[in-house]
Structure 1
């Protein structure tokens, strides 16, 4: 089952109100029915996207001792360069957050990496604000409610991934196990190797590469705030064959001290019991970070949104 494609040309341009409203409704319906969708005409230039993939590929091709130099001085996040060795095999990542950009975590001989990722980070933040406003409008929340509720952009994260290939004679291997993102929503750019899948009605469906598009998936925070009106997409990634797989994921996050619970509009005001008890976002995030820092963490040690479900 192919995920919906939503054209943002009317949102970013100067189309009439009817076209803009149509795009907002298509976006909202896709979030409800799938929890994952594609957007096109999103404002990220193909030239910059292609160049970013080239720069990151060159970074990952560097010797390990040079890559390990890309580490920030201090952050609660596992930021900078990292390599994951687990029962799923080895993968590399480069995590960029605002503190990383503030101190320029990259060595002086790698200015292009820093400049390229900072530009991508800023472009994703701008797009995030647009998508957040679309979600706010579709849910018929007070004007700028989500923007004011989620007003701290210092928690946003840009992840660059490299999944090494598996041998042609080996069975399919998971590169990233199935999960739901904890944040508000995620933007994903994948190269043309594929491997991304999402779960729909108990079946796993591919999200094949589509040039010029961005994948957007709903996170657990929105699922909790809307009392399951919008569902976070469960997804996973298979390792490629014959070549490396590169991708960018931008996590439009929320402040750790924010209190998350179903909004009255989706619970008491319509006679529905809250499906989740309240929690601080950091409770959910810290469990995910534990998994990121130690991939061998047992699944039953990782808190997900179901941990906060009520027993109605």
Structure 2
């Protein structure tokens, strides 16, 4: 395995960054120790109890074409309180665009390594082609590569940082981003109404229409000879506001931890988005809506690709529980401050949110 095929040349990371795609191509039947998760975190651990047939269809599906908008808001509200996860169908984003966006990004990950490495990222912004999240040296790694890019605010969007190959990618990604932002705004309005607030309340807390943040992480999980020992993404809740996930149309892998602590495998509805509440909405809703831990398993037989679209509060805007929703369970903090913790440590369940709640409890006790 040549260094040109698998290493980022430094770019601010604490150690050379190995491309999982290259590891998959050369490691034979045994994955390197860095990718082996502790026994309690492996997908075969005793805590993993998928439903019948390896999945659970109880995760709510919300039809956004229902004529009664109040009924749609009630369905989303119930899903966010019970699960923190739901699927949306008839959401208004054309199936043809979903397929074009997925196909374009598959095309990028099939480019020669020399082409992909032109876009190698750094921990300064994470924008570009990457293979790790945390900046701590050593430790376990996830079995996946990714491409991270910004869409909002417009000042952060730089098309020259987006891959130029395949030739369809930039146009498809631009159109996809515009359509998913519109969908996020619709969903945010319904969540506000579900909380008993004015429909624009959550949007205002995000910075108002045009003031919010949006970014996308395209995940690529190569084939893995020992999928029972590793994960494509370790267990975590999403640090941002709202996530719209377009999963692989052939290979399942997303698992959600239910309220009983068991991992279930999501069975995606064709052409649906999987929507999940992020930590910022848990904070803003004062824990009425819960961000939920999820993780990604990998396959020995097939590679897998997904597009995770993150809709976030403006990064420098203070975020705190909305006063209409009772005594605050969390202290005020900007999204920039919040995700700085994630980027230092990498993904670690809901540790950051729990630490914030403890801090707020201690502050109330001391006052």
Distance of aligned partners of 1:244 and 1:139 in 2 relative to their CA distance in 1, 3 Å threshold: same
Deviation of 1:280 (Å): 2.1
SS for the counterpart of 2:228 is coil
Instruction: State the distance in 1 between where 2:120 and 2:92 align.
Output: 30
Report what 1:190 is aligned to.
Answer: 247
- Give the structure with the larger strand fraction: 1
Report what 2:342 is aligned to.
Answer: 288
For residue 87 of structure 1, the aligned residue among 140, 157, 163 is 140
For residue 268 of structure 2, the aligned residue among 204, 209, 229 is 209
Number of aligned positions between the proteins: 292
For residue 278 of structure 2, the aligned residue among 187, 199, 219 is 219
Structure 2: runs of 5 or more not aligned: 1-55, 134-138
Instruction: State the distance in 2 between where 1:76 and 1:123 align.
Output: 28
The answer to whether structure 1 residue 125 and structure 2 residue 181 are counterparts is yes
Check the 8 A contact 2:227/2:298 in 1, yes or no. Answer: no
SS for the counterpart of 1:137 is helix
Check the 8 A contact 2:107/2:166 in 1, yes or no. Answer: no
The answer to whether structure 1 residue 78 and structure 2 residue 126 are counterparts is yes
TM-score (norm 1): 0.85
Deviation of 1:142 (Å): 2.8
Deviation of 1:75 (Å): 9.9
The answer to whether structure 1 residue 63 and structure 2 residue 117 are counterparts is no
For residue 355 of structure 2, the aligned residue among 288, 292, 307 is 307
Report what 2:53 is aligned to.
Answer: none
CA RMSD of aligned residues (A): 2.5
TM-score (norm 2): 0.73
Check the 8 A contact 2:108/2:165 in 1, yes or no. Answer: no
Distance of aligned partners of 1:187 and 1:106 in 2 relative to their CA distance in 1, 3 Å threshold: closer
Report what 1:270 is aligned to.
Answer: none
Instruction: State the distance in 1 between where 2:231 and 2:146 align.
Output: 16
Alignment map for 1:38-187 (pairs within 5 Å): 38-70=87-119, 77-84=125-132, 87-98=140-151, 101-106=157-162, 108=164, 110-150=166-206, 151=208, 152-153=210-211, 155-167=213-225, 171-187=228-244
Report what 2:297 is aligned to.
Answer: 238
SS for the counterpart of 1:69 is helix
Distance of aligned partners of 1:199 and 1:75 in 2 relative to their CA distance in 1, 3 Å threshold: closer
Higher alpha-carbon deviation: 199-208 or 244-253? 199-208
Deviation of 1:59 (Å): 0.6
Higher alpha-carbon deviation: 56-65 or 77-86? 77-86
Distance of aligned partners of 1:129 and 1:76 in 2 relative to their CA distance in 1, 3 Å threshold: farther
Check the 8 A contact 1:287/1:303 in 2, yes or no. Answer: no
SS for the counterpart of 2:145 is strand
* C-alpha distance after superposition, 1:128-175 (max 9, x if no partner): 1111111111112234122222125563111111011112x6635211
